[in-house]
Amino acid sequence: MTEINQRVTLARRPEGPTTPDCFSLEEGPVAPLELGEIRVAVEWLSIDAFIRTTLRAEGFHRSVPIGGTVGALGAGRVTESTVDTMPVGTAVRGSLGAQTLATMSANAVEPIDESLAPLPAHLGALGLTTGMTAWVGMRRIGMPKPGDTVAISAAAGAVGSIAGQIARFDGARVIGIAGGPTKVAHLVDTLGFDAAIDYKNEDVNDRLSELAPDGVDVFFDNVGGDILDAALDNLAMQARVIICGAISQYDNMENVTGPSLYLRLAERQSRMEGFAVYHFRDSYEQATSELAAWLADGSLVMPEHIVHGLDHFADALQVMFTGANLGKTLVRVE
């Protein structure tokens, strides 16, 4: 019996916010495996901000063609294999795409050690675009010291929440910036942040000056725009600004709004550095070891916002971009 694959394809390129009509759910038979290939039943998909940039005609990440399968990192299990080292039943993760069955080279995925954590955690707290990104940004670029004041935008999201917890583990005082009273309470009461700012109902610049009268030593930015400017206006001397992402800009990449207060960097002898996690492959082993240990002893908290069904992939994207999620957004492929 021929297996049928369901996949989310790009029907049209979004102009502004990504809406469900930008996508189509299609199905068709899978081809026989070629030598060196495996077939993976996709169980979980990671919803990440970079997906939005792939929907453009060109951009930093690979562009999805019209009619092509939308890219996404995923985790699942091998159901068919031509490779002895990747037998049926092996749990793997990689760029599986928004589909139910991924047929690919065995070299394109990596086995998952399920003794460390359940499958979805390997896309979240232990995932390349979440826990690993937070670890690299904070440990390799921000490098907070005990007593430093660290501020984080999109702090209740997947990367921000872990970045803040790592800074707290390193002895820093942590201020989270998030939208709405529920998220602000979560940051302080559940994640142990020292303070939180509700950007929807408070003036971020004013609140930062109140909460960090001596300035912000490390700012971990996931948002860009006005919030980045507010942080620049409140930097301490020799501060470090980490550019991880700019989710406020992804719907209008042709007219990105840059920081208007970048001269604060010169005034306060500070630096701003962007990064992509895959430039730090030599840190993966250490990052995984530490993140897994924190997960195991319960010191690291990673809420998951789960959307059920591949047919709700577009809804999951909207959840993340509208800020309706708390922690990591995942699709449970069913």
Q: What pLDDT does residue 56 have?
A: 84
Say if residue 231 is in the same domain as residue 327.
no
Q: What pLDDT does residue 61 have?
A: 59
Domains contained in the chain, number: 2
Place of tokens 């872990």: 162
Average pLDDT score over the chain: 94
Say if residue 117 is in the same domain as residue 67.
yes
Per-residue pLDDT band for 255 (boundaries 50, 70, 90) equals low
Question: Is the separation of the CB atoms in 229 and 258 below 8 Å?
Answer: no
Residue 289 falls inside a structural domain? no
Residue 295 falls inside a structural domain? no
Q: What pLDDT does residue 246 have?
A: 76
pLDDT in tens, 263-302: 999 999 999 999 999 999 999 999 999 999 999 999 999 9
Q: Which two tokens stand for residue 20?
A: 């469900």
Q: What pLDDT does residue 256 have?
A: 67
Residue 121: is its pLDDT beyond 80? yes
Say if residue 138 is in the same domain as residue 190.
yes
Q: What pLDDT does residue 303 have?
A: 92
Q: What is the pTM of this model?
A: 0.93
Residue 284 falls inside a structural domain? no
Helices (H), 130-281: 131-136, 158-169, 181-189, 204-211, 225-232, 263-267
Say if residue 265 is in the same domain as residue 167.
yes
Residue 252: is its pLDDT beyond 80? no
Q: Give the lowest-confidence range in 17-21, 33-37, 67-71, 208-212.
A: 17-21
Say if residue 236 is in the same domain as residue 326.
no
Q: What pLDDT does residue 62 have?
A: 77
Helix axes 225-232, 204-211, angle to 10 degrees: 30
Q: What pLDDT does residue 1 have?
A: 62
Higher local confidence (pLDDT), 106 or 249 = 106
Residue 40: is its pLDDT beyond 90? yes
Say if residue 269 is in the same domain as residue 182.
yes
Say if residue 179 is in the same domain as residue 71.
no
Say if residue 89 is in the same domain as residue 44.
yes
Q: What pLDDT does residue 177 have?
A: 98
Buried residues in 266-296 as b, exposed as e (16+ CB within 10 A)? eebebebeeeebeebeeeeeebbebbbebbe
Q: List CB contacts of 169: < 8 A, sequence separation 6 or more.
A: 294, 299
Q: What pLDDT does residue 249 have?
A: 65
Q: What pLDDT does residue 232 have?
A: 98
Percent of the chain with pLDDT over 90: 87
Q: What pLDDT does residue 17 have?
A: 85
Residue 297 falls inside a structural domain? no
Which CATH number is 243's domain given? Answer: 3.40.50.720
Q: Give the lowest-confidence range in 23-27, 116-120, 318-322.
A: 318-322
Mean pLDDT of 219-234: 95
Mean pLDDT of 196-223: 97
Say if residue 223 is in the same domain as residue 266.
yes
pLDDT in tens, 44-74: 999 998 898 899 877 555 789 999 999 999 9
Q: What is the three-class DSSP state of 155?
A: coil
Q: What pLDDT does residue 33 have?
A: 96
Say if residue 153 is in the same domain as residue 172.
yes
Mean pLDDT of 299-312: 96
Say if residue 326 is in the same domain as residue 224.
no
Residue 325 falls inside a structural domain? yes
Residue 243: is its pLDDT beyond 70? yes
Residue 165 falls inside a structural domain? yes
Residue 283 falls inside a structural domain? no
Say if residue 106 is in the same domain as residue 242.
no
Residue 74 falls inside a structural domain? yes
Domain coverage including residue 257? 131-278
Which CATH number is 22's domain given? Answer: 3.90.180.10
Buried residues in 315-332 as b, exposed as e (16+ CB within 10 A)? ebbbbbbebebbbbbbbb
Mean pLDDT of 135-149: 97
Helices (H), 99-178: 131-136, 158-169
